[in-house]
Chain A
């Protein structure tokens, strides 16, 4: 059992949870994830490890409640436990000395990006972070990211930072020879990652994305998370989740993410009306 020590709401339906998991905290490296199975008879969902404290024996997860299982996890009160957490899983981020790097986070992707950006900064890189969201309440972790990076914000309605998409901000940086990055890391919704990869492609700027396909075991035994990278089929849980954004078949990834849309809708319908409204509002 994995005790919940802290559970804060960062944005509508976005939680930061600190959980006791000493072995994972000790072994974990940036870029890795865990599989959480909240209760007997539940389902297994992959979640990125946002942060870890090996001394305190804790990991931090950032979770957006978008369906029955994530809602179950985020509504676990402090002092109660999640039944199963397995990890750390996946490959750690390859932290190279790139020089100037830009990290782009969209929505909850910002939380996934956070440990990566922190590690890149610690690795001696000059980090700029572009974080985007629908509107001001959806911009998370700006202060935390500002500790080690220059933070630029984009919102669709202009309620915070620059109005528009993260790609507009990235384009400005690329156009400025003083600020053009040697590498770009993009994490967020698939259309955003694809847009970033398409933007950097003609400039030949190395672009790393973190993929979020459907997973079950997370240990490479089923291939449910397979993605196409270049000409090869890869299992995101063991070969990734980070890949070269210029090689990823984003259309296939988006397509495979819709595989259980009907069943997910049924599960959502079975939730109490109040919770359902909350989720549907966030999902829009």
Chain B
């Protein structure tokens, strides 16, 4: 294979297709849908990159991965170098390569996307990250700086907290991560299903952090087991990345019937507790006809999960049209291939129950799109009198989540906005000295990669804060 290709030769290569499990097969198991590229496919796809001077892809990535550099190393078949670059910029590349919405980020601004298909940055990131996990002995050993003697507490082991932990450990700070659940990963563990993100991948990414010296303590509910004040006393700085894990209720009659779940509960049972496995004690209702209300990634995860739990009909009910769905296009596409039904322009009115208190149906209201609202999207408006009933035995509410007040309720001095999210400046600093925050607790429900970007930004400002604090102490 030639090492350097002309731009014309590069332009002639077609974008790789990700090998996938067959839809009829995969909707009966929890194994990963995307099977990953072969080495040959990855190198060929890497050769499509024009290594352009502007590098818009780097700016399109919330953690600023040096995309052309790692792709160039990959194109030459130099995987240790590709891995070195990628791992230096991204704490969780095997996760990002799988769950990032590349189509709205790095790939959306790829020069090759202007005419034809952009470079499959996500697939290549995944390939290199998986290679790195499989070949730890071939990775260049990067020495850590001397310990600074500064201690930082991180609240929450989700994408923001884990990224923060990796960044700070590489700067020489002593990091302790406090996690409320019994396993690490936050939404990567309890939210995103095995068929999109195998939990083995999360374990390996976390193991890489502990190898850097990051301490992780599970079963610590900050706000209950320890308070923010205690953390501020015992550590030089605190980062709060505890997410937005509080379900928004539908607030319609029948919401408390048996068979009605929040997406958080449904997915936690299946992902964290592995309720899909017959050898695990945590139960789940295996509905025959399941409706999931919402149009985001959480809704897609829940509805595809229901199918894998054996549902004959799995339905998405969404109040706008497919064009307005916040879910990734790939997930919508995968869902359709797996036989998920989409009922659009419809909203739930009432969950109907039987005499034993179980769900038997959902009364729905047909909608039409009206004038654009504040978000710029056309607002769904009910069509008077146009209602219909769905016969279902499980209802999953995936309309969204809000900030969990568990921590903030015991930290009255911490400034919040009117939705209960923590207020920060653009560097992640809160109103309390030495306390920083990022991810969903600041943004409300957003994406994994945006939370990671927040973790990376705040890590720099914590480092600056600690340096100033150190100087100050030295002067006294």
Chain A residues, CB < 8 A from B383: none
**Docked CA distance A216–B267 (Å):** 11
Closest chain A residue to B245 by CB distance?
Answer: A221
Closest A residue to B267 by beta carbon equals A222
Residues of B within 8 A of A83 (CB): 182
Expressed in whole angstroms, the Cα–Cα distance for A260 and B268 within the complex equals: 16
Q: For A257, give the chain B residue with the smallest CB separation.
A: B258
Is the CB–CB distance between A256 and B258 below 8 Å? yes
Bound together, the chains give a CA A75 to CA B274 distance in angstroms of 24
How distant is the Cα of A223 from the Cα of B248 in the complex, in angstroms? 10
* Inter-chain contacts of A37 with B (CB < 8 A): 182
Q: Is the C-beta of B446 less than 8 angstroms from some C-beta in chain A?
A: no
Most B Cβ at <10 Å: residue of A27, A88, A216, A264: A216
A86 in contact with B180 (CB, 8 Å): yes
Q: Do A220 and B406 touch across chains, with their CB atoms under 8 A apart?
A: yes
B199 contacts partner chain A, Cβ-Cβ < 8 Å:
no
Contact B283 A263 (CB under 8 A): yes
Query: Do B283 and A217 have beta carbons less than 8 Å apart?
Result: no
Complex: chain A residue closest to B280, CB-CB: A41
How many Å from the CB of A269 to the closest CB on chain B? 13
Would you give the shortest CB distance from B351 to chain A, in whole angstroms?
Answer: 13
CA A256 to CA B262, docked complex, whole Å: 15
Q: Are A233 and B246 in contact (CB under 8 A)?
A: no
Bound together, the chains give a CA A86 to CA B256 distance in angstroms of 26
**0/1 per residue, A256-268, Cβ < 8 Å to B?**
1011100110010
Contact partner of A222 (CB less than 8 A), chosen from B247, B274, B406, is B247
List the one stretch of B16-24, B85-93, B116-124, B220-228 in contact with chain A.
Answer: B220-228
Contact A233 B256 (CB under 8 A): yes
CA distance A68 to B182 in the complex (A): 19
In the complex, which residue of chain B has the Cβ closest to the Cβ of A83?
B182
| Given known contacts A84-B182, A222-B264, A256-B258, A43 and B281 CB-to-CB distance under 8 angstroms | yes
* Residues of chain B contacted by A221 (CB below 8 angstroms): 245-247, 264, 268, 404
Could you tell me how many residues of chain A have their Cβ less than 8 Å away from some Cβ of chain B?
38
CB nearest to B180 among chain A residues:
A219
| Closest residue on chain B to residue A23 by CB atoms | B225
Across chains A and B, the number of contacting residue pairs, with CB separation under 8 Å, is: 101
Q: Does B368 contact A (CB under 8 A)?
A: no
- Contact assessment for B225 and A88 in the assembled complex, using a CB-CB cutoff below 8 Å: yes
Q: How far is the CA of A223 from the CA of B214 in the complex (A)?
A: 32
- Alpha-carbon distance between A87 and B406 when the two chains are bound, in angstroms: 12
Closest to A252 in B: B256
Interface residues of B in 248-262 (CB under 8 A from A): 249, 255-256, 258-259, 261-262
Q: For the complex, give the distance between the alpha carbons of A68 and B282 in Å.
A: 11
Q: A233-B256, A255-B357, A264-B283 are in contact. Are A222 and B249 (CB under 8 A)?
A: no
Provide the residues of chain B in CB contact with A15, threshold 8 Å.
Answer: none
Q: How far is the CA of A83 from the CA of B183 in the complex (A)?
A: 11
- The reply on A69 being an interface residue by CB < 8 A is yes
* With A85-B219, A255-B357: A43-B268 Cβ-Cβ less than 8 Å: no
Of all chain A residues, the one with the shortest Cβ separation from B217 is: A23
**Contacts of A222 on B, CB cut-off 8 Å?**
247, 262, 264-265, 268
Q: Which single residue of chain B is at the shortest CB-CB distance from A267?
A: B281
Give A219 to B268 CA distance when docked, in angstroms.
13
- Tell whether A44 is near chain B: CB-to-CB under 8 Å: yes
Judged by a CB distance under 8 angstroms, whether A226 is at the interface is yes
Q: Are B182's CB and A223's CB within 8 A?
A: no
A220 to B248, CA, bound (A): 11
Q: Quick one: which of A85, A86, A219, A255 contacts B404, CB cutoff 8 A?
A: A219
* B285: interface (CB < 8 Å): yes
Q: Is A205 an interface residue (CB 8 A)?
A: no
Q: How many angstroms from the CA of A44 to the CA of B259 in the assembled complex?
A: 20
Q: Which B positions have Cβ atoms within 8 angstroms of A? A: 180-182, 218-221, 224-226, 245-247, 249, 255-256, 258-259, 261-262, 264-265, 268-269, 273-274, 279-283, 285, 356-357, 404-406
Given contacts A87-B224, A216-B265, 16 further A-B contacts (CB under 8 A): A23-B226, A24-B225, A27-B225, A86-B221, A216-B269, A220-B245, A220-B406, A222-B262, A226-B256, A255-B258, A258-B258, A259-B258, A259-B259, A259-B285, A263-B283, A267-B281
Sample 13 A-B pairs with CB under 8 A, ordered by A number. Answer: A23-B225, A41-B279, A43-B280, A216-B265, A216-B268, A220-B406, A222-B262, A226-B256, A233-B255, A233-B256, A260-B285, A264-B283, A267-B281
**Top 5 closest A-B pairs, CB basis?**
A222-B265, A263-B283, A221-B245, A84-B182, A255-B357
